């Protein structure tokens, strides 16, 4: 009788603990349900605005590279207003980082030295998504550091403007498809060919 009572008590304790854990799990799933519902609503809005957002992203990448952060915002606000006038669905608070950025990739960029502000992240997207070669005005060397760290896995080569082997390095990079980053030179007057040699380009008969 005592053993049976003890067994019933243990079963009751086990059931009680299971009920507590089940309650916690149900509460957690309820919170997740709220989050999932909000996510579905956001994705539905993003789906509707996809055409306009991609259009604005393409225009941003094509034209906004040289502009300051303030002027970029002014231009984007003007574009969004024109989209509304022409009934092109687009996000009212358009963000290039949100539309074209990948959070994991952006985090890697920041680890490699890219500043964490939105303007720098936009510049990173412009440099990696654009079809044209980006020109980086980089007085603090942040972009150079970021590019060198990012391309380390691809055997990036760093060259100086007064390096006598710069042409050979560039030729090898073009032939092998490896990246090359410049290193700032203190000499602003550089020859087009830093190692001119008339014998390298013989004249025809």
* Banded model confidence at residue 60, pLDDT cuts 50, 70, 90: very high
From residue 27, alpha-carbon distances to 15, 24, 37, 40 in Å are 18, 5, 15, 20
* Banded model confidence at residue 46, pLDDT cuts 50, 70, 90: confident
- Return mean pLDDT, the chain: 82
pLDDT of residue 184: 55
* Banded model confidence at residue 166, pLDDT cuts 50, 70, 90: confident
Burial label, 197 (beta-carbon count in 10 A; 0-12, 13-18, 19+): exposed
């Amino acid at each position: 009788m005592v053993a049976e009572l003890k067994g019933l008590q243990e079963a009751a304790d086990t059931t009680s603990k299971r009920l507590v854990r089940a309650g916690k799990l149900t509460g957690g799933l309820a919170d997740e349900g709220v989050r999932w519902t909000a996510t579905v609503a956001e994705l539905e809005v993003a789906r509707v605005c996809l055409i306009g957002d991609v259009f604005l992203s393409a225009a941003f990448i094509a034209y906004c590279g040289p502009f300051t952060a303030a002027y970029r915002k002014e231009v984007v606000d003007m574009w969004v207003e024109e989209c509304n006038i022409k009934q092109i669905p687009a996000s009212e608070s358009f963000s290039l980082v949100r539309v074209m950025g990948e959070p994991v990739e952006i985090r890697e960029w920041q680890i490699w030295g890219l500043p964490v502000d939105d303007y720098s992240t936009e510049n990173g997207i412009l440099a990696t998504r654009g079809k044209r070669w980006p020109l980086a005005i980089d007085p603090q060397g942040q972009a150079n550091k970021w590019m060198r760290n990012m391309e380390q896995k691809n055997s990036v080569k760093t060259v100086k403007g007064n390096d006598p082997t710069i042409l050979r390095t560039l030729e090898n990079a073009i032939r092998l498809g490896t990246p090359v980053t410049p290193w700032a030179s203190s000499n602003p007057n550089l020859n087009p060919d830093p190692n001119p040699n008339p014998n390298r380009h013989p004249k025809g008969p």
